[in-house]
């Protein structure tokens, strides 16, 4: 798995039925993948204008490759999550 911070656009209209969410969220489909908003602003201030914010994702290498090759997203940084060996104390 990889961690990364990515600039992405919003989708949705901000209602309870169709809340705002990152466009790249649709690419995070494998088990264990997910995202969190790291813009550090109250959600009331995140109206999509200019329609960009930063999310931290946890994803597989193939997903990160797809995000990096998509011009809608800007990967700010990424790092491989080093897994502890199963027999580690």
Whether 89 maps to a domain, the answer reads: no
pLDDT of 59? 96
Torsion sign over Cα 36, 83, 89, 87? positive
Q: Could you tell me the residue range of the domain that residue 43 belongs to? A: 2-80
Instruction: Report the pLDDT value the prediction gives residue 67, as an integer from 0 to 100.
Output: 96
Closest to 77 measured CA to CA, from 69, 68, 86, 85: 68
Give how many domains the chain has, as a whole number: 1
* Residue 66 included in any domain: yes
Confirm whether 85 is domain-assigned: no
The predicted structure's pLDDT at residue 44: 65
Contact 4, 57 (CB under 8 A): yes
Burial label, 87 (beta-carbon count in 10 A; 0-12, 13-18, 19+): exposed
| Residue 86: predicted pLDDT | 63
Note the pTM of the prediction, 2 decimals.
0.79
Question: pLDDT digits over 16-70, tens only?
Answer: 888 778 899 899 999 999 999 888 766 666 666 677 889 999 999 999 999 999 9
88 lies in some domain: no
62 inside domain: yes
71 has pLDDT over 80 = yes
Within-domain flag for 86: no
């Amino acid at each position: 798995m990889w961690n990364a911070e990515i600039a992405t656009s919003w989708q949705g209209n901000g209602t309870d039925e169709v809340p705002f969410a990152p466009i790249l969220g649709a690419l995070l489909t494998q088990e264990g993948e997910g995202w969190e908003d790291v813009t550090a602003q109250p959600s009331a201030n995140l109206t999509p204008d200019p329609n960009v914010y930063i999310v931290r994702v946890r994803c597989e290498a193939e997903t990160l490759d797809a995000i990096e090759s998509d011009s809608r997203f800007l990967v700010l940084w990424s790092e491989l999550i080093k897994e502890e060996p199963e027999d580690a104390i």
